[in-house]
Amino acid sequence: ATRNENFKLHYLGVALDICLSNGQKVTVNILTSDQTEDVLEAVATKLDLPDDLVGYFSLFLVREGVDGSLTFVRKLQEFELPYVSITSLRSSEFHIVLRKSYWDMSYDGDVMDNRVGLNLLYTQTVSDIERGWILVNKDQHRQLKSLQEKGSKKEFIHLGQTLKYYGYIKFDPCITDFPEKGCQVIVSAGNNELNFHVKLPNEQMKEGSFKVTRMRCWRVTSSVSGGGRCEVKLELAFEYLMSKDRLQWVTITSQQAIMMSICLQSMVDELMVKKSGGSIKKMLRKRHNGSIQRPDSQQTVKSPPLLDSPDPNREQIVKLSTKLSSVSLRGISASNSANDISANDFHGNYAFEGIGDDDL
């Protein structure tokens, strides 16, 4: 009898909250045994997102800080049971978020052709700007606010695409051994690269990027540190082609090492799909259980509130960014357009650009 009761648990119908970038929650009725793909399809049905656009989005496990900051823990894997993953954490800090899962902004056009896709992309862009993940100066901020007031979502996204760090995922501050051991670094992943914003031991700031096409391999390792509390230390290390015949290992010590690795792998996968002339459109299988009724009325994505004025502290970083437009190997420049990004951008020697103390 006990075994039968346990077996039945796998097929319980439950309600699961999925968050959108603007904090709005979409509640879907699923089974406890539903895998990530099933839950993603249920969210798409609820939002009225067409089947052929579902493959452009993924579900991510995030932790929300008391200050509202978001830490991306990982992308939910296909074999996972999202309901089990989120409830086993037993903490209201953790949420599942729907976010675009591709890196090449040329795919934005496919998504924007659909009303729901456009709204999802728009709310994500607004959210990333408000979090300071996308850098905006005062003039750009004025233009964005004007487009927002007019309800010009497509134009808003097109302007967003020209901004620094558009489409990047930003990680929490961590430690790296490049260019020397023990440096504090803020890592961002996007545009087929890992971007480093490094604080050297002498307080000097430097910035540069590692292209995924110049990484020979990478690995994630974990080690347990002793002491009173057992803490697991995670590291991402990658071997990088610094110059024509010089490979060097670069290590990042971060609790988000797994998420960083997932980002690198998905960038490589996407480059391979493009190279083979394939598409990231993925028709999902129809749901296998007919027992769950889908509501007739679709849930609409609400528009986010207007952008607040830029944080004065953030403005300091913006001033910085204008001096960084010539960082070696960067596929994006300060005035980039979608056309600037191509497979031919991966050339030249790697170099970090220095930032003087007077710039901060």
DSSP 141-154: HHHHHHHHHHT-HH
Specify the fold of 169-263.
PH-domain like (2.30.29)
CA 324 distance to own-chain centroid: 22
Residue 204 burial (CB count, 10 A): 13
Predicted pLDDT at 69: 86
- pLDDT of 279 reads 78
Q: Which of 324, 271, 304, 296 is nearest to 123 (CA)?
A: 304
What integer pLDDT is reported at residue 179 of this predicted model? 93
Scan for tokens 């700031």, then name that residue. 205
Q: How far apart are CA 235 and CA 254, in angstroms?
A: 6
> Are residues 280 and 205 in contact, defined by beta-carbon separation less than 8 angstroms?
no
Separation CA 334–CA 163 (nearest Å): 7
Asked whether 160 and 21 are in contact (CB, 8 A), the reply is no
CA distance 179 to 87: 41
Asked if 306 and 147 touch (Cβ cutoff 8 Å), the reply is no
DSSP, res 248: E
Task: Please give the model's pTM, rounded to 2 decimal places.
Answer: 0.78
CATH 1.10.287.980 fits 103-166, yes or no: no
CA distances from 148 to 22, 214, 309, 312 (A): 15, 39, 13, 21
Residue recorded with tokens 């296998």: 288
- Residue 280: the pLDDT is 77
pLDDT at 224: 87
* Half-sphere exposure in the Cβ direction for 193 (13 Å, CA): 24
Give the residue ranges of the chain where pLDDT is below 50.
1-3, 7, 283-297, 312-360
Considering only CA atoms, which of 208, 210, 209, 204 is closest in space to residue 355?
204
Domains of the chain, by residue range, sit at 12-101, 103-166, 169-263
Preceding omega of 201 cis (within 30 degrees of 0): no
State both tokens at 69. Answer: 């900051």
Phi, psi of 198 (to 5 degrees): -105, 140
Tell me what pLDDT residue 310 has.
54
**CA distances for 252 relative to 210, 220, 239, angstroms:** 12, 10, 12
CB 220 within 8 A of CB 258: yes
* Topology (CATH level 3) of domain 12-101: Ubiquitin-like (UB roll) (3.10.20)
Identify which of 55, 49, 256, 251 has the alpha carbon closest to the alpha carbon of residue 169.
Answer: 256
